[in-house]
Amino acid sequence: MRDTVHTLDLNHLGLPGAIACYVLQVPEPTLVDPGPTTVLDTLVAALEDLGIGPSDLRHVLLTHVHLDHAGMTGHLVECFPRAAVHVHEDGAPHMVDPTRLVASTRRTFGEAHDRLWGEARAVPADRIRAWRVGERGPWTGLRPIPTPGHISHHLAYLDERSGTLLSGDAMGIVLGDGAPTHPPTPPPAVDLRAWERTLDAILAIGPERFGATHFGLHHDVPGRVAQLRGALADLERRVRDAVAAGNMEDAGRYDAETRARLTGAWTRKEIDRYFDMFPASTDWAGVEFYVRRNP
């Protein structure tokens, strides 16, 4: 069977392999996680190269509303007037009014916010198709899968024709086939126990491969599940120990260790550019936020 999933590298801030968008062209042109507003022109040009013009795109599927996945959506629906936006019902209000979402993201990224993500524009309510548990996807053969953990309203989408799970952040960060899986756990909505159940559910579904937003298509789903499960457990243990000891210097140490561990996948300069955008110290902060509320 011809592959129905196209990976688009959004080349975020000129860094290849950082943020991916996925395009499915049959039966109706559909994309998953368009990315931040800063790469709008890149995405529109890539869709044009695939023969998808302003009147062609029908569906924009969001795994969740974080700006690196969904930030450009309000701009995108202006460019593609026939496209509907599909998102979990709990994420839909943040697309209609992104004020609180942007404020939360600014608290995390500070002065770098606008350079990283650009402006998040509201999506008109009549363009949104809020997904509820038990409902089908936008077309036969594309199945929404609840995958909470990274955030409570996270969804993945199973393309049943190719056996591909378009996983957003649910399968973690994989920056290359030989790179270890890194857990993306920014504050404030990480739920580690829900993430454990999500990984069990993914194994039960048994996809042939997964497409991570950060980054690309990967096989060995059981192996990657095991890696992510181990990385989440290790980070939780370290954070709990640090909180108990009152040692918050470990956040910086964790960031430095993460950069060193992943340098084999990319050059050190590329790894530093990636983790300057998505600091591992922020992942530490998300788990710290969780463990202080779940002692």
Q: Is the pLDDT of residue 196 over 90?
A: yes
Could you tell me if 123 and 205 lie in one domain? no
Q: Does residue 105 lie within any of the structural domains?
A: yes
DSSP for residue 152: T
Q: Is residue 150 part of a domain?
A: no
Q: Quick check: 214 and 176 in contact, CB under 8 A? A: no
Q: What is the mean pLDDT of the chain?
A: 95
Is 143 part of a structural domain of the chain? no
Within 10 angstroms of residue 100's Cβ, the number of other Cβ atoms is 10
Question: Does the residue 161 lie in any domain?
Answer: yes
Output the pLDDT for position 255: 97
Domain of 19, CATH number, reads 3.60.15.10
For residue 124, the tally of other CB atoms under 10 A from its CB is: 12
| Same-domain check for residues 271 and 219 | yes
Q: How much is the average pLDDT of 162-182?
A: 96
Q: How many CA atoms lie within 13 A of 65 on its CB side?
A: 30
In a domain, 144, yes or no: no
Q: Which of 139, 127, 133, 13 is nearest to 77 (CA)?
A: 127
DSSP 8-state class, residue 19: -
> With bands split at pLDDT 50, 70 and 90, how would you rate the model's confidence at 4?
confident
Cα angle 278, 273, 188; round to 5? 5
CB contact at 8 A, 20 and 10 = yes
Write out the E strands in 74-225: 84-88, 128-131, 142-146, 155-159, 164-168, 209-212, 216-218
pLDDT at residue number 3: 74
Tokens of 119: 């402006």
Identify the band that residue 26 occupies on the pLDDT scale cut at 50, 70 and 90: confident
Whether the pLDDT of residue 22 is over 90: the answer is: yes
In this model, does residue 1 exceed pLDDT 60?
Answer: no
Q: Does residue 113 lie in a domain region?
A: yes
139 domain-assigned: no
> Quick one: what percent of the chain has pLDDT higher than 90?
92
> Is residue 147 situated within a structural domain?
no
Strands (E), 69-225: 84-88, 128-131, 142-146, 155-159, 164-168, 209-212, 216-218
| Number of domains comprising the chain | 2
Domain membership of residue 60 as a residue range: 1-131
Same domain, 97 and 29: yes
